Each structure stands twice: as structure tokens, then as C-alpha cells.
Structure 1
Amino acid sequence: KPNAGKSTLINQLIGEKIAITSVRPQTTRNIIRGAVTFDEAQVIFLDTPGILNLTQVKNLVDRHIIEEALKSLEGVDLIALIVEPFTVSPEDRFILENLKNIPKPVFLVINKIDKIKPHELDSIKREYETLFSFAKIVPISAKKGTNLSILMGEIIQHLPLHPAYYDSDFITDQPERILVGELIREKIFDLTHDEIPYSVMLKVDQFEERPQDLIYIRASIYVEQASQKGILIGKSGKMIKNIGSLARKEIEKHLGCQIYLDLWVGIKKQWRRH
């Protein structure tokens, strides 16, 4: 479900930041694969974009993203539906109706339980149980780490026997160039408002190792309108400088070296309609 904390949970379970996070819904655009290997098991996670009812989707890009997310569920061994600890929403009902057509065990993972009282959790569980037959219901707080070891144990118990797909040191199939672009986009989500972060298309044009353990990164940020470009750049370039500064620190933390980040903002009209 959008904004339920899927990416935060994936990062916590894997122990590395492979997916960007934001308080805003629909931050994740691509399906992200990550893995964690134990002595007795290897668990491969697919972090999908939040799924919305297709009748509510206004542009072709978002429709394609949701269709791909639904399609990806057919190739997995176990589905974890991550929801917030509130009453069942129309989006939840749409997802559950789609899950009824997929013959896979489904976990209901109720995230953010630190925000509610125990008796409220019981009520939420009962409401979901009237709508779907879950293989397991696990309440967690991804942010605080509550019950994550329990969740991982239950996941491992429900996986089929199979040789490991990846080497034990494999973490993600996200190329560094793609992850760098996502980290920049994360800061755009953090610092801008309204439609701006959803109007952004980001492309990493250069990713180049230079002397003295320095990496030069040049990224183009495209928006749909001149007014959006003005907001993204900000007065005297203040906004784009702030985005660049925060993104640079996050990228350096991820890559473990110094980087020079060069950001450029341009316009591609109606790019989400194509």
C-alpha cells in the first residue's frame, strides 16, 4: 500500500539502504530487488511501488508502474502486504481483491504500531481478517525495529527449499548509477511540495571516477513546466543547492568516498503522458 513504510522495512531487513524513503506516498517508482543471506536461508525481497486502484491513476507512467507491480507478484513465493494501523481503506480493498487471484501465501504486515494502542491493533486485525485469509499477521514498527526478527523468522519458515539464487555477499541488483539517481530524487521529495516531486524525471548523465578517490556525478533533473523549474532551482539557486548538498552527503555515505555532484534542471513537457 502507498506510504505504508515498505522501503523503510526493506532497508531495515537487509541492513543497507537500497530503497529511498519519504513521508509522501508513491515515492518508489521501480521494483527494487534486495537480498539477505543467513546460514540456513537466503531471502530475496522485491520492493514494489505502492499499488493504487487503476481507475484513480491519471497518467500513463503511473499506470505502467502499478501494472508492473501487480505483475511482479506472480513470480514470488510469498507476498507481504504492508499496511498502516488504521481502518481498511478503498486502496486496501482493491489490493486484497487482486491478491485473491494469486495462489500465493499472503502475510499481513501491520506497520507503525508504535502510533496506536494495543486494543486498536486487535480491532484492525479483526477487520482485515473478515476480508482475506492471511497466512500470517505480523504487527511491526519498521522505524523502531519492533518485531522485525519475528517477521524475518516467519518469512523464512514459509519459503520453499531451493538452492541460493545469489552469492552470500549479494545485496541488491540496483546499479550504483540508478541508486544515486534515487538518492537525489529522495531529497527532492524531502524539500519540495505539492506536485513538484511527482513531476520530476531524473537521469544520471555521468558517473566518473577521478584522481584522489573522487567520483564526479552529473545528473539532469527534468520537470514538465517552466514554473516547476523555477521552484526547483529556487531564489538565487538556493533550493537546488540544498538538494545537491543533502544528496551529496547521502551518496558519499553510500559509496564510501568523496563525490562532486553537478545538478542541472531542464524541461520536458508532458513526459508522464508518454
Structure 2
Amino acid sequence: MSLLSSFFDYAFMQRAALGCAAISVSAAPVGCFLTLRRMSLMGDAMSHAILPGVAVGFLVSGLSLGAMTVGGIVAGVIVAMLTGAVTRLTGQREDASLAAFYLISLALGVLLVSLRGSSVDLMHILFGSVLALDDGALRLLCATATVTLLVLALIWRPLVLECVDPGFLRLVSRWSGPVHFVFLGLVVVNLVAGFQALGTLMSVGMMILPGLAARFWSHRLGTMTVLAVLIGLASSAAGLLGSFHWGLPSGPAITLSAGAIYLISLIFGRAGGIVPRLRPGKHFHN
């Protein structure tokens, strides 16, 4: 009980736990769809793509939540549109053009922050400060979680169909294009909201790792989504406790906790883990 007492005794730990819970509820389901659509690396690329917008917001207004949030959303949308345009105009694969733009964005964002800010400001933007969340950041995280769940509920069926057979969805419905761009919007919004707590480089971990881990335990999307949220919550609690009791940096500690659960799932998960796949099958005799 003494290990968990920090969540009851300190207000900043309660705020950090609430913020991480909002990220888990919001980003983990989005990560499940990224995993099913084989777009996991896109989440990582978009987390870098928002950095120039965050940096511009920082240059204009300092560590202003509103300015950095708007800047991050605008930058993410621009990179997504440029990636699509390059793919259509040149025939280059989408993953290749996205990789080019995210590398450019990462370098540009770090350069912009370095022009005015200190190394402390740069570390704050890149790796977050979940133990110092203010009211504005908590409202943003909770609002993002609410909007994400509502939008996912509205587009759930066409989004699932697009994961299974996007060609069929394009044939029978005009929702294919809008659903794709709405989903990309959810990815960007969740990454922008998550950077307030975990930074631009760590927020994608809470989006991708729980979904990847959950897939080793179930092939049913509903079950996988619930498991991803639970894994996100468990990772957040473990990372926050490690940060409080042993002085670990909170963002990396949370992400590494999610990574540890992923490795355990990779080895022991009943839906494709290494050990169950190596286990001899049952033989039946007449």
C-alpha cells in the first residue's frame, strides 16, 4: 500500500494519473486501428511532424498551451496533405514521402526551439513533463479523449471495414475518403494533446505500444481495444510510480513500461505469442 500511497497523498500525482488515464483512453484505441491498418510507423512519423508547429507556437508565445496546440495541429495537417500530394503527383510510396517530411520536420522543429529556448525548453517539448500538468493541459487531454471516443463511435463500422477491405468500402460507399482523413485527424489531435504530458517523442509510444501488445492477446477488435486501454493505464501507473519513487524521467518510464508489457505479450500472448506458437498442438485419436 505504501507504494501506491503517492497517488493519494500528492495532488500532482493525481493530476498526472488523470492526464495519463485520458491519454490511455483516447490514444490506445486509435493505436489499435493504426496497428490493424499497418500504419504503426505513421504514428511515429506524425509525432515528429507536429514538432515545427509546436516550435512556432513556442517562439510566438513561449510555453503557451493554446499556441503550441494550434501550431502542432496545423503542422500535422500540412505534413499529411503534403504526403498525400507527393504520392499522387509523383507515384512515390506514401511511407517514403512521409519519412522524408517527418525527418525534415524533426530537424526544423529542434532548430526553431534552439533559436530562442534553452535546452530545458527543448527537453520539455520533446519529452514532456507529466508530473507538472496544469489545469489547461488536463482540460485539453480530457476534451481530446471525449471527442476521440465520440468520433470513433460514429465512424466505427466504416473504419473497421476499411481495415478489413478498403477496396470494398470504396465500391459500396463514399465514406472511404472522409473516414480516412477523419482518422488521420484523430491521430494528429491525440499526438498534439499527448505531447503536453509526454512530449512529442514519447506520446506516440502510448498510442502504438498498447495496441501492439493487445493484439497478441485477442483477434477481436473490441476486446483488443479494451485491453489496449488497460495496458495504457497499467503502463502509466508503473511509469509514474517509477518516476516518483526512483527519480526516473516520467515520459520514458511510462513508455518503457508499455514496452515491457509489449515484450511480455510478444512472448506469452495467446493470440500469436512466441511460446503458444511453439507449443505442440493437441492430437486427437479415434
Query: How does the TM-score come out when normalised to structure 1?
Result: 0.26
Q: TM-score, normalised by structure 2?
A: 0.25
Q: Name which structure has the greater RCO, CA cutoff 8 Å, separation 6+.
A: 2
Which has the larger strand fraction? 1
